[in-house]
Every structure is written in C-alpha cells, then in structure tokens.
Amino acid sequence: MAYSGGISEFGTLRNIKLLRNNGDSYNFDLYKLLINGDRSDDITIEAGDVILVDSAKNFISLDGEVIREAIYEVKENETLEDLISFGLGFS
C-alpha cells in the first residue's frame, strides 16, 4: 500500500488517469471540479486502483483586470475566452 503526498508543483491537474484492476481506465480534468464546480465525472476510488498524474506541459500567467489572477495550466485547444473564465472574468 502506498500513500501520495498530493500533486507536485508540476503535476497536471488537467489529465489525471485512474486505472482499475479490471482494465478500465478513466481520465479526469480537475479544472472541471476546481474551477467550475462540475462533479459529473466523480468516481469512487476502489482498493487496487492506480492513479497516474503526469507532468503538466503548458502554463500561462493570467493577471491584470481579472477577478482571480493565477498561473493556469492550459490545453492546446483552449481559447482566450476559456482562460478568462478560469480567472472568473474581468474585474
């Protein structure tokens, strides 16, 4: 049995994989939960499950006239509108 200390500074929040003993796998984007409050992809972790957290690849610093300034992980297909929504819109 192993315990994780959480996701490291460079671990992805956008592509987390859960692997089941029976071969099933699930992908999660934690931004859906953390930014949007969307729990539609929730799944119960079971004994024997493996959680894989890859390294994040693309970051952008969003600052200025947005409500929530931060450094966000971005996917290649995301737009400027997506990024502004991460920052909760303009202040």
Mean pLDDT, to the nearest integer, of 6-18?
A: 86
Summarised one tens digit per residue, pLDDT across range 17-57 is: 999 999 999 999 999 999 989 999 999 999 999 999 989 99
At 85, list the tokens.
Answer: 């929504």
State residue 79's pLDDT score.
96
> Per-residue confidence at 4, pLDDT binned at 50, 70, 90?
low
Which residue did the predictor score with more confidence, 62 or 6?
62
How does the average pLDDT of the chain come out, rounded?
91
Cα 60 from Cα 31, distance rounded (Å)? 15
pLDDT above 60: residue 16: yes
- DSSP lists the bridge partners of residue 25 as 19
- pTM comes to 0.77
